[in-house]
């Protein structure tokens, strides 16, 4: 069993049910076989999250993801120390498109609209952003750090 865990961790994949695996591939639900674990690990690292814990139990693999961030990537990039992980996700969206609405941010991030509003209010209170214009046609303005 332990040897199988090592093979899976290195990206080797063996389909248990080849018919289902092929159906998923044809339907476009699988990018490539054997790439999922490495992709999960890479994405966790990119987002500053701890690596997922992967355990083998019998014929199953159990993957555990952790919410805590080991570092705040966006905060570090922008030199902002007092931003939470979820605030940094919303701030990054604003950096990418300052015209995004709350609804668009919610759809893009999977964060509820209510939570997006709460996060935006927190960023406004911290003096990191401000809003100009209307809810639909307005724009988010990032406040320059040297003005704080």
- For the chain, domain boundaries: 2-64, 73-147
| DSSP assignment letter at 128 | S
pTM above 0.75, yes or no: no
- Tell me which of 3.60.10.10, 3.90.930.12, 1.10.3720.10, 1.10.10.10 is the CATH number of domain 73-147: 1.10.10.10
pLDDT per residue over 30-77, tens digit each?
767 767 777 787 777 766 677 788 888 887 778 888 766 544 454 544
What does the H/E/C string look like for 66-113?
CCCCCCCHHHHHHCCCCCCHHHHHHHHHHHHCCCCCHHHHHHHHCCCH
Cβ 87 vs Cβ 123: under 8 Å:
yes
Alpha carbon distance 29, 25 (integer Å): 6
**Is the pLDDT reported for residue 119 higher than 80?**
yes
């Amino acid at each position: 069993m332990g040897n199988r865990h090592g093979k899976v961790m290195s990206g080797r994949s063996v389909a248990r049910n080849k018919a289902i695996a092929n159906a998923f591939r044809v339907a476009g639900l699988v990018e490539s076989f054997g790439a999922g674990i490495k992709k999960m690990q890479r994405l966790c690292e990119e987002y500053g999250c701890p690596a997922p814990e992967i355990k083998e139990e019998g014929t199953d693999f159990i993957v555990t993801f952790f919410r805590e961030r080991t570092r705040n990537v966006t905060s570090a990039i922008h030199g902002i120390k007092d931003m939470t992980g979820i605030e940094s996700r919303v701030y990054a969206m604003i950096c990418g498109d300052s015209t995004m609405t709350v609804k668009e941010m919610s759809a893009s991030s999977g964060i509820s609209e209510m939570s997006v509003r709460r996060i935006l209010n927190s960023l406004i209170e911290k003096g990191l952003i401000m809003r100009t214009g209307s809810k639909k046609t307005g724009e988010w303005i990032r406040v320059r750090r040297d003005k704080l």
